[in-house]
Amino acid sequence: MVLPNTNNDKKDEAEWMVPVEVMLGSIDHAEVQACSISRIPDEIRTKKEECFRPSLVSVGPLHRGATRQILLMEEPKWRYAKSFLDRRLRVPQGNNHGGHSRGKSPEPTGIRVWGNEILKLDKVVRASYGGDLDLDPHDLAKIMMVDGCFLLELLHRLKDYMNQPQAKQPQTISDDPFLETEEKVKRVLNDISMLENQIPSIVLKRLYTIVFPDNTISFADDHRVATVIRDAFGYNSKNNHGLAHMLHLMHMSTVEEEINNQDTKRLRQARRELKRCARRLQAAGITIRSRKSNNTAANGNANANTTISNQHKLVDIFDFDISFNKEDKVLEIPALHIKETTELRWRNMIAWEQSRIWIRGRYTSYALFFQTLICSEHDIKLLEKKGVIVNEIKMSRAELKTMFETISAGVEHMDSSYGDHCKKLNEHRTTLRTKVFRQWPIITWHIFRRFLETVVFYFWNWYAILIRDHLSTVWKTVAVVAATLALVLTIMQTYYSAKQVQLAEQPSNSPGGH
């Protein structure tokens, strides 16, 4: 008779509670936000899948080894990780910022000690990913250590790259697999800006303090990693407390995100508050104007002490400071620079806002405002002419229209950033003279343009389906031509047969036929 293994049964009974203990223990953690790196819902993801799936490099466990290209970049990631750990040996005594001279590799015993420091963070790391990662603690710690060191080394190099004048920035860095071309730099910036491609900031802070120890500040007050991230992405300094991960820092650098109990009405169900598109606003006598100013990294506040230019081709900062002067009938919108990183970062910021119920949905409200402002390519043409949309990558107007139509798909909540402005714009009334000489002609032409766009869209859509499904090969083309010819001949035969019958019956029906 085989006796039951009571020890294994007790172990199994205890293991199923581990994720629960992890999550409950991390709810009020000062350095961690539970479920801050989670899978994006299909309602948001499906409209532009590639904006949420890394193409070059994975960070963290969610997309590890997902594609061949990502697997090819694993070895360069290890080289980056080693280079970051080597910085400990390059730093002179008392220098906490890293150096650039070469040094020998860190001792294996030191690496083990550092690895054990990351292993101690296992529970809070799991909590960041929702508490239920199917990974051994040692495997997870290895991923955190390698990817964390890689990311910190990458940020240091990006900071050096971004601080160079644009005219002097090298077009190629032949010995750097991630920064060897400007195209790869953009891809890397996109990949590390994705919500699912993050690692907890507490891991980055722990690794940074291991390589650059500083006994003069506490761990909670050590914000050097946040500074490196902001320098790499071109953001200004701001609040660093409660940082979940790198994308969260980007959000905090542009949005005052926390909603207190006295201001809970700022969150509302997502909806289109504006009732008129750009051409209809123009027809109603409202002047649309681009606000010419530098973008800021503090709340979109034009009065911030420190401003940062958004003219750099690799700096992508949104300015939310839209305003409407009811007396002058002027709607001012800061220029929206469309770059190769804009759509991806915007979509991931929206996904982050939708995953948190207690932060402001500023990016979401901004997207819904533009979604209503643009109902056709005609509106895009007007906004480009006014300087509101600056198309730096030469996207077609059809592509821009699709982006604005789908960027807020699947959202559930937003804030009240533009509620007052939209209400005033919706309530604006025009005089009879304005209606006759301005509003009706513009709206008539606008409706015609929208109708024409719809017809052209469906024509090319049907044409694409025809080519894809019926004319994809020579034999399919021959078959379609033969079938079309047979149909035409059948119609002609039917017509002439009916004509002959009609002619044959005509004499018998004529007068005097008997």
**Structural domain spans, the chain:** 15-252, 263-429, 442-498
Q: How confident is the model over 191-206, as a mean pLDDT?
A: 95
With a cut of 80, say whether residue 219 has pLDDT above it. yes
DSSP string of 445-480, one letter each residue? HHHHHHHHHHHHHHHHHHHHHHHHHTSSSHHHHHHH
Structure tokens at 454: 């719809």
Name the band, by pLDDT with cuts 50, 70 and 90, for residue 305: very low
Banded model confidence at residue 483, pLDDT cuts 50, 70, 90: confident
475-494 average pLDDT score:
84
pLDDT of residue 295: 53
Of 322, 456, 342, 331, the residue nearest 391 (C-alpha): 342
Helices 201-211 and 108-119 pack at an angle, to 10 degrees, of 150
Find, among 391, 59, 366, the residue nearest to 193 by Cα.
Answer: 59
DSSP string, 476-506: HHHHHHHHHHHHHHHHHHHHHHHHHHHHHHH
Beta carbons within 8 Å of 45's beta carbon, 6+ residues apart: 52, 410
Helix, strand, or coil (residue 174):
coil
Q: Which of 429, 331, 337, 322 is nearest to 368 (CA)?
A: 322
Under DSSP, the state recorded for 224 is: H
| End-to-end Cα separation, the chain, in angstroms | 114
User: Above 90 in pLDDT, residue 479?
Assistant: no
> What's residue 141's pLDDT?
95
Q: Can you give the pLDDT at residue 22? A: 55
With a cut of 80, say whether residue 481 has pLDDT above it: yes
**Phi, psi (degrees; rounded to nearest 5) at 299:** 70, 10
514: its two tokens = 């008997």
Tokens found for residue 410? 């699947």
Neighbours of 71 (CB within 10 A): 12
Instruction: Tell me the C-alpha distance between 210 and 201, whole Å.
Output: 14
pLDDT at 152: 97
Mean pLDDT of 134-138: 92
* Burial status of residue 28 (CB atoms within 10 A of its CB: 0-12, 13-18, 19 or more): exposed
- Give kind and range of the element (H or E) at residue 399: helix 397-406
Q: Answer yes or no: is pLDDT of 239 > 80.
A: no
How much is the mean pLDDT over the chain? 81
pLDDT reported for residue 383: 95
**pLDDT value at 61 more than 90:** yes
Q: Which two tokens stand for residue 202?
A: 């507490």
Question: From CA 468, how far away is CA 491, in angstroms rounded?
Answer: 27
Per-residue pLDDT tens for 330-359?
Answer: 999 999 999 999 999 999 999 999 998 888
Helices and strands counted in the chain (H then E): 21, 7
Q: What is the pLDDT of residue 363?
A: 96
What amino acid occupies position 67? T
pLDDT, residue 480, reads 78
With a cut of 60, say whether residue 262 has pLDDT above it.
Answer: no
Contact 415, 360 (CB under 8 A): yes
Q: How far from the centroid of its chain's Cα atoms is residue 283's Cα?
A: 33
Nearest to 77 by CA among 64, 67, 87: 64
Q: What burial class does residue 180 get, using C-beta atoms within 10 Å of its C-beta: 0-12 exposed, 13-18 middle, 19+ buried?
A: middle
Q: Is the pLDDT of residue 478 over 70?
A: yes
pLDDT of 27 > 80? The answer is: no
- pLDDT of residue 102 exceeding 60: no
Can you tell me the mean pLDDT for 82-111? 61
| pLDDT surpassing 50 at residue 366 | yes
* 232 Cβ contact list (under 8 Å, min separation 6): 155, 156, 158, 159, 162
Q: Who has greater pLDDT, 14 or 350?
A: 350
Write down the residue that tokens 């109708």 correspond to. Answer: 451
Percent of the chain with pLDDT over 90: 45
Higher-pLDDT residue of 512 and 212 is: 212
pLDDT at residue 4 greater than cutoff 60: no
Return the H-helix or E-strand segment holding 151.
helix 137-163
Question: Within 10 Å of residue 202's Cβ, how many Cβ atoms?
Answer: 25
d(CA 250, CA 230): 8
Contact 261, 279 (CB under 8 A): no
pLDDT bin (cut points 50, 70, 90) of residue 16 is low
pLDDT for res 418: 94
| pLDDT tens-digit series, residues 403-442 | 999 999 999 999 998 999 999 999 877 655 555 545 656 6
Q: What is residue 289's three-state secondary structure?
A: strand
Q: Does residue 176 come out as left (phi exceeding 0), alpha (psi in the -120 to 50 range) or beta? A: beta
C-alpha–C-alpha distance, residues 507 and 41, integer Å:
76
Number of neighbours of residue 224 by Cβ within 10 angstroms:
17
Percent above pLDDT 70 for the chain: 73
Q: Please report the pLDDT score of residue 79 as a whole number.
A: 94
